[in-house]
Amino acid sequence: MMRPTSTLAMVVPSLAVAILCILVRSASAEFWLDEFTTDGDVRRDYDRSGRQVASLVLDQRSGAGFNSTRKYLFGEFSVEMKLVGGNSAGTVTSFYLTSGEGDEIDMEFMGNSSGSPTVLNTNVWANGDGKKEHQFYLWFDPAADFHKYKIVWNDKNIIFQVDDVTVRVFKRYDDLPYPDAKPMAVHATLWDGSYWATRKGEVKIDWSSAPFVVSYRDYTANACAVHGRNGGGSSSCPAGANEWMDRQSDDTDRLTVAWARRNCLQYNYCDDGWRFPQGFPGECARN
Protein backbone atom coordinates (compact mmCIF):
# COMPACT_ATOMS: atom_id res chain seq x y z
CA MET A 1 0.00 0.00 0.00
CA MET A 2 2.94 2.35 0.60
CA ARG A 3 4.46 2.05 -2.87
CA PRO A 4 1.76 4.01 -4.83
CA THR A 5 1.80 6.79 -2.20
CA SER A 6 5.59 7.02 -2.38
CA THR A 7 5.57 7.14 -6.17
CA LEU A 8 2.88 9.83 -6.17
CA ALA A 9 4.93 11.87 -3.72
CA MET A 10 7.82 11.78 -6.18
CA VAL A 11 5.73 12.59 -9.27
CA VAL A 12 3.75 15.53 -7.88
CA PRO A 13 6.76 17.77 -7.06
CA SER A 14 8.33 16.99 -10.46
CA LEU A 15 5.06 17.85 -12.19
CA ALA A 16 4.80 21.08 -10.20
CA VAL A 17 8.32 22.08 -11.21
CA ALA A 18 7.56 21.35 -14.87
CA ILE A 19 4.38 23.45 -14.73
CA LEU A 20 6.26 26.28 -13.01
CA CYS A 21 8.90 26.28 -15.75
CA ILE A 22 6.20 26.46 -18.43
CA LEU A 23 4.54 29.39 -16.65
CA VAL A 24 7.84 31.25 -16.25
CA ARG A 25 8.68 30.84 -19.94
CA SER A 26 5.18 31.85 -21.04
CA ALA A 27 5.28 34.95 -18.83
CA SER A 28 8.58 36.02 -20.40
CA ALA A 29 7.87 35.22 -24.04
CA GLU A 30 10.10 38.05 -25.22
CA PHE A 31 13.71 36.92 -25.13
CA TRP A 32 16.32 39.60 -24.48
CA LEU A 33 18.18 38.24 -27.49
CA ASP A 34 15.33 39.58 -29.66
CA GLU A 35 17.04 42.99 -29.38
CA PHE A 36 20.00 41.58 -31.31
CA THR A 37 20.82 40.15 -34.70
CA THR A 38 22.75 36.89 -34.62
CA ASP A 39 25.47 35.21 -36.64
CA GLY A 40 26.57 31.58 -36.56
CA ASP A 41 25.30 29.01 -34.07
CA VAL A 42 23.46 30.98 -31.37
CA ARG A 43 21.20 28.95 -29.08
CA ARG A 44 18.39 30.02 -26.75
CA ASP A 45 17.59 28.22 -23.53
CA TYR A 46 16.62 28.71 -19.88
CA ASP A 47 18.51 27.93 -16.71
CA ARG A 48 16.92 26.10 -13.77
CA SER A 49 15.53 29.34 -12.33
CA GLY A 50 13.83 30.20 -15.61
CA ARG A 51 16.31 32.89 -16.67
CA GLN A 52 16.95 33.26 -20.38
CA VAL A 53 20.35 32.05 -21.58
CA ALA A 54 21.93 32.69 -24.98
CA SER A 55 24.84 30.43 -25.93
CA LEU A 56 27.44 30.93 -28.66
CA VAL A 57 29.01 27.87 -30.28
CA LEU A 58 32.43 27.70 -31.96
CA ASP A 59 33.53 24.81 -34.16
CA GLN A 60 35.95 24.44 -37.07
CA ARG A 61 33.38 25.79 -39.50
CA SER A 62 32.42 29.01 -37.78
CA GLY A 63 32.32 31.20 -34.70
CA ALA A 64 29.19 32.93 -33.46
CA GLY A 65 27.97 36.25 -32.15
CA PHE A 66 25.14 38.72 -31.64
CA ASN A 67 24.95 42.50 -31.94
CA SER A 68 22.31 44.98 -30.83
CA THR A 69 19.88 46.50 -33.30
CA ARG A 70 20.06 49.73 -31.30
CA LYS A 71 22.99 52.08 -30.92
CA TYR A 72 23.76 54.04 -27.79
CA LEU A 73 25.64 57.16 -26.78
CA PHE A 74 26.66 56.53 -23.16
CA GLY A 75 25.20 54.00 -20.78
CA GLU A 76 25.68 51.15 -18.35
CA PHE A 77 25.92 47.73 -20.00
CA SER A 78 25.95 44.52 -18.00
CA VAL A 79 25.78 40.79 -18.66
CA GLU A 80 26.49 37.55 -16.84
CA MET A 81 28.73 35.10 -18.68
CA LYS A 82 29.85 31.51 -18.22
CA LEU A 83 33.00 31.02 -20.29
CA VAL A 84 34.29 28.04 -22.23
CA GLY A 85 35.25 25.18 -19.90
CA GLY A 86 38.25 22.86 -20.04
CA ASN A 87 41.04 23.57 -22.50
CA SER A 88 39.86 26.79 -24.13
CA ALA A 89 43.29 27.85 -25.45
CA GLY A 90 43.06 29.88 -28.66
CA THR A 91 39.43 30.91 -28.18
CA VAL A 92 38.33 34.51 -27.63
CA THR A 93 35.04 35.44 -25.98
CA SER A 94 33.93 39.06 -25.95
CA PHE A 95 31.43 41.61 -24.67
CA TYR A 96 32.04 45.03 -26.18
CA LEU A 97 30.72 48.25 -27.70
CA THR A 98 31.71 49.50 -31.14
CA SER A 99 30.73 52.29 -33.52
CA GLY A 100 32.23 50.45 -36.48
CA GLU A 101 34.01 53.73 -37.20
CA GLY A 102 37.05 53.66 -34.97
CA ASP A 103 35.48 53.88 -31.50
CA GLU A 104 35.33 50.77 -29.31
CA ILE A 105 35.23 49.65 -25.67
CA ASP A 106 36.34 46.03 -25.22
CA MET A 107 36.11 43.25 -22.69
CA GLU A 108 37.75 40.19 -24.24
CA PHE A 109 38.41 36.87 -22.53
CA MET A 110 41.36 34.94 -23.90
CA GLY A 111 41.18 31.18 -23.64
CA ASN A 112 43.63 29.17 -21.61
CA SER A 113 45.15 25.75 -21.30
CA SER A 114 43.44 23.66 -18.63
CA GLY A 115 44.49 24.81 -15.18
CA SER A 116 45.88 28.20 -16.29
CA PRO A 117 44.17 31.47 -15.37
CA THR A 118 41.89 33.20 -17.87
CA VAL A 119 43.02 36.62 -19.09
CA LEU A 120 40.56 39.52 -19.36
CA ASN A 121 41.73 42.07 -21.93
CA THR A 122 40.23 45.56 -21.61
CA ASN A 123 40.81 48.19 -24.29
CA VAL A 124 39.53 51.56 -25.47
CA TRP A 125 39.60 52.91 -29.03
CA ALA A 126 38.80 56.50 -30.05
CA ASN A 127 38.91 57.74 -33.64
CA GLY A 128 40.95 54.71 -34.60
CA ASP A 129 43.46 55.28 -31.80
CA GLY A 130 43.75 52.11 -29.68
CA LYS A 131 46.60 50.11 -28.15
CA LYS A 132 45.39 50.93 -24.64
CA GLU A 133 45.16 47.43 -23.20
CA HIS A 134 45.10 46.44 -19.57
CA GLN A 135 45.05 42.67 -19.15
CA PHE A 136 44.07 40.95 -15.91
CA TYR A 137 44.19 37.38 -14.66
CA LEU A 138 40.72 36.58 -13.32
CA TRP A 139 40.81 35.54 -9.66
CA PHE A 140 38.20 32.80 -10.11
CA ASP A 141 37.26 30.09 -12.61
CA PRO A 142 34.98 31.94 -15.08
CA ALA A 143 33.86 28.64 -16.62
CA ALA A 144 32.59 27.11 -13.37
CA ASP A 145 29.63 29.48 -13.04
CA PHE A 146 28.16 32.75 -14.27
CA HIS A 147 29.90 36.02 -13.34
CA LYS A 148 28.83 39.59 -14.05
CA TYR A 149 30.79 41.89 -16.34
CA LYS A 150 29.90 45.56 -16.72
CA ILE A 151 30.93 48.61 -18.75
CA VAL A 152 29.94 52.09 -17.54
CA TRP A 153 30.50 54.69 -20.28
CA ASN A 154 29.85 58.40 -19.94
CA ASP A 155 31.49 61.65 -21.01
CA LYS A 156 33.84 61.63 -18.01
CA ASN A 157 35.25 58.10 -17.87
CA ILE A 158 34.86 54.43 -18.75
CA ILE A 159 34.61 51.99 -15.84
CA PHE A 160 35.23 48.26 -16.22
CA GLN A 161 33.78 45.99 -13.52
CA VAL A 162 33.88 42.28 -12.72
CA ASP A 163 31.24 41.08 -10.24
CA ASP A 164 30.70 44.76 -9.32
CA VAL A 165 34.41 45.16 -8.52
CA THR A 166 35.99 48.02 -10.47
CA VAL A 167 39.23 46.81 -12.05
CA ARG A 168 39.95 49.70 -14.40
CA VAL A 169 38.95 53.34 -14.98
CA PHE A 170 39.83 55.05 -18.26
CA LYS A 171 39.53 58.82 -17.78
CA ARG A 172 38.70 61.45 -20.34
CA TYR A 173 41.15 64.28 -20.99
CA ASP A 174 39.96 67.12 -23.23
CA ASP A 175 43.16 67.17 -25.29
CA LEU A 176 43.25 63.39 -25.91
CA PRO A 177 41.08 61.06 -28.01
CA TYR A 178 37.99 59.75 -26.21
CA PRO A 179 34.88 57.95 -27.53
CA ASP A 180 32.19 60.56 -26.92
CA ALA A 181 30.58 61.37 -30.27
CA LYS A 182 29.83 58.18 -32.22
CA PRO A 183 26.92 55.95 -31.14
CA MET A 184 27.92 52.36 -30.45
CA ALA A 185 26.18 49.00 -30.69
CA VAL A 186 26.62 46.15 -28.20
CA HIS A 187 28.36 43.01 -29.46
CA ALA A 188 29.21 39.56 -28.11
CA THR A 189 31.32 37.02 -29.99
CA LEU A 190 33.12 33.69 -29.70
CA TRP A 191 35.83 33.10 -32.28
CA ASP A 192 39.15 31.47 -33.15
CA GLY A 193 41.92 33.80 -31.98
CA SER A 194 44.71 31.22 -32.12
CA TYR A 195 47.10 33.69 -33.72
CA TRP A 196 47.27 35.86 -30.56
CA ALA A 197 44.93 34.81 -27.75
CA THR A 198 46.97 32.34 -25.68
CA ARG A 199 50.62 33.04 -24.87
CA LYS A 200 50.77 35.47 -27.79
CA GLY A 201 49.69 32.76 -30.22
CA GLU A 202 52.00 30.00 -29.05
CA VAL A 203 49.08 27.74 -28.04
CA LYS A 204 46.48 27.00 -30.72
CA ILE A 205 42.95 25.67 -30.47
CA ASP A 206 42.64 21.94 -29.88
CA TRP A 207 39.72 21.17 -32.16
CA SER A 208 39.29 17.73 -30.61
CA SER A 209 37.63 19.60 -27.72
CA ALA A 210 35.12 21.33 -30.01
CA PRO A 211 32.42 22.50 -30.00
CA PHE A 212 33.26 25.32 -27.58
CA VAL A 213 30.34 27.03 -25.86
CA VAL A 214 30.00 30.29 -23.91
CA SER A 215 26.70 31.36 -22.30
CA TYR A 216 25.22 34.80 -21.57
CA ARG A 217 22.29 35.75 -19.34
CA ASP A 218 20.77 38.73 -17.49
CA TYR A 219 21.80 41.26 -20.13
CA THR A 220 20.83 44.87 -19.36
CA ALA A 221 21.45 48.15 -21.14
CA ASN A 222 20.58 51.16 -19.01
CA ALA A 223 21.62 53.57 -21.71
CA CYS A 224 20.78 56.48 -23.99
CA ALA A 225 19.44 55.01 -27.23
CA VAL A 226 20.13 56.91 -30.45
CA HIS A 227 17.26 56.85 -32.92
CA GLY A 228 17.18 57.12 -36.67
CA ARG A 229 18.82 55.07 -39.38
CA ASN A 230 22.23 53.75 -38.28
CA GLY A 231 21.90 55.63 -35.00
CA GLY A 232 22.19 59.01 -36.65
CA GLY A 233 19.21 60.77 -35.04
CA SER A 234 18.15 62.07 -31.66
CA SER A 235 18.77 60.20 -28.42
CA SER A 236 16.58 59.35 -25.44
CA CYS A 237 17.83 58.42 -21.99
CA PRO A 238 15.95 56.31 -19.42
CA ALA A 239 14.75 57.66 -16.09
CA GLY A 240 17.55 57.69 -13.54
CA ALA A 241 20.24 57.94 -16.22
CA ASN A 242 22.15 60.46 -14.13
CA GLU A 243 23.04 57.60 -11.78
CA TRP A 244 25.56 56.37 -14.32
CA MET A 245 25.88 59.51 -16.46
CA ASP A 246 27.52 61.30 -13.52
CA ARG A 247 29.37 58.19 -12.34
CA GLN A 248 33.06 58.75 -11.65
CA SER A 249 35.53 56.69 -9.68
CA ASP A 250 35.19 57.08 -5.92
CA ASP A 251 37.37 55.95 -3.02
CA THR A 252 36.08 52.37 -3.23
CA ASP A 253 36.86 52.22 -6.95
CA ARG A 254 40.35 53.54 -6.36
CA LEU A 255 40.95 50.87 -3.73
CA THR A 256 39.75 48.02 -5.95
CA VAL A 257 41.67 49.32 -8.98
CA ALA A 258 44.81 49.40 -6.84
CA TRP A 259 44.08 45.86 -5.64
CA ALA A 260 43.58 44.64 -9.22
CA ARG A 261 46.85 46.27 -10.31
CA ARG A 262 48.79 44.60 -7.50
CA ASN A 263 47.26 41.16 -7.74
CA CYS A 264 45.80 40.63 -11.23
CA LEU A 265 47.30 43.02 -13.78
CA GLN A 266 49.62 41.13 -16.12
CA TYR A 267 49.92 43.68 -18.96
CA ASN A 268 49.76 47.49 -18.94
CA TYR A 269 50.38 49.36 -22.20
CA CYS A 270 51.82 52.23 -20.18
CA ASP A 271 54.69 49.96 -19.14
CA ASP A 272 55.47 48.70 -22.64
CA GLY A 273 58.32 50.89 -23.82
CA TRP A 274 59.10 48.56 -26.74
CA ARG A 275 55.63 49.24 -28.14
CA PHE A 276 55.95 53.01 -27.83
CA PRO A 277 59.55 53.93 -28.77
CA GLN A 278 58.48 57.54 -29.45
CA GLY A 279 56.94 57.96 -26.01
CA PHE A 280 53.91 56.70 -24.11
CA PRO A 281 50.36 57.88 -24.85
CA GLY A 282 49.50 61.14 -23.09
CA GLU A 283 47.18 59.64 -20.49
CA CYS A 284 49.90 57.34 -19.10
CA ALA A 285 51.55 60.13 -17.14
CA ARG A 286 48.24 61.42 -15.76
CA ASN A 287 46.51 58.33 -14.38
Question: Catalytic site residues?
Answer: 104, 108
Report the DSSP beta bridge partners of residue 106: 96, 123
Distance CA 145, CA 203 (A): 25
For residues 143 and 86, the answer to whether their CB atoms sit within 8 Å is yes
Distance CA 238, CA 139 (A): 34
**Nearest one of 43, 79, 85 to 64, comparing CA atoms:** 43
Torsion of CA 156, 160, 166, 172, to 10 degrees: -20
Residues 6+ apart with CB under 8 A from 161: 148, 149, 150, 151, 152, 167
For residues 173 and 281, the answer to whether their CB atoms sit within 8 Å is no
Sign of CA dihedral 202, 207, 208, 213: positive
**Nearest one of 150, 122, 166, 162 to 257, comparing CA atoms:** 166
Report the DSSP beta bridge partners of residue 155: none
**Nearest one of 253, 181, 188 to 216, comparing CA atoms:** 188
For residues 92 and 108, the answer to whether their CB atoms sit within 8 Å is yes
